[in-house]
């Protein structure tokens, strides 16, 4: 369904999203859009049901409110692309910070998380049509899961839930049931995630952005094999 995100009364984006955990979605989206630096930058968040969809209204703190005008979008986005309405290549490919926390875990942790992933996806068990984004400990224990029809939305929901619960990555990693796109790499870096694991292949731009930021990647992850393309 369409989910509109408003920031301080301005319409910012319309996402096609699975209509659950929408506050989490808005928090994560605001962080990965670089509108906020943390949960404390959001003073209030409310979901309003409207005909045909939902509106999530965010009230951002005054110290970050100037960022909205620079990034307000005037076109609808969807679950497969976060770039519609971006006015320049410079805006689409802004520099990423270098990660302070680097991946120190083993590939065995990825295999452990993969083994447990299926039973932690209730919506996908019912539909076989949605993605999952999971926060995993450095040992591979799944700490938190969010699901959505769109892989970007699922990751934003996960990041937003972690923000709201004051959870950090703790040296762990994100496991996503999708390919490794550059947008997912950017979300991982901006949330401080040391390593991103995906079950499908990376794009060339994803590899470039991950290397530049120091993000470890594990791709084409299966129960007994994976690739380490960013090393």
Please list the active-site residues. 81
**Which backbone phi and psi does 228 adopt, to 5 degrees?**
-120, 70
Tokens representing residue 154 in the block: 């699922």
Tokens representing residue 169 in the block: 């990555």
Strands (E), 8-154: 10-16, 42-50, 53-60, 131-136, 142-148
Q: Under a CB-based contact definition with an 8 Å cutoff, are residues 184 and 160 in contact?
A: no
Q: What is the total residue count of the chain?
A: 231
Tokens representing residue 23 in the block: 């506050």
| Alpha-carbon span 145 to 151, nearest angstrom | 12
Q: Which residue in this structure is represented by tokens 């290397």?
A: 211
């Amino acid at each position: 369904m369409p989910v509109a995100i408003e920031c301080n009364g301005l319409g910012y984006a319309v996402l096609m999203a699975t209509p659950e955990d929408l506050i989490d979605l808005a928090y994560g989206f605001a962080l990965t859009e670089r509108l906020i630096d943390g949960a404390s930058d959001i003073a209030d968040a409310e979901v309003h049901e409207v005909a045909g969809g939902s509106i999530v209204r965010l009230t951002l703190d005054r110290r970050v409110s100037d960022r909205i005008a620079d990034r307000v979008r005037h076109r609808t986005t969807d679950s497969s692309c976060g770039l519609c309405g971006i006015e320049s290549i410079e805006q689409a490919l802004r520099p990423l910070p270098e990660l302070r926390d680097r991946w120190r875990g083993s590939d065995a942790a990825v295999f452990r998380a993969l083994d447990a992933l299926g039973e932690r996806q209730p919506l996908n068990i019912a539909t076989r049509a949605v993605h999952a984004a999971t926060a995993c400990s450095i040992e591979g224990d799944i700490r938190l899961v969010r699901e959505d029809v769109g892989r970007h939305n699922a990751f934003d929901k996960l990041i937003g839930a972690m923000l709201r619960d004051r959870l950090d990555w703790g040296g762990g990693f994100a496991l996503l049931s999708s390919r490794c796109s550059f947008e997912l790499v950017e979300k991982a870096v901006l949330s401080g995630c040391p390593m991103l694991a995906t079950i499908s292949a990376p794009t060339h731009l994803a590899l470039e952005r991950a290397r530049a930021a120091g993000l470890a990647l594990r791709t084409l992850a299966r129960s007994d094999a994976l690739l380490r393309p960013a090393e």
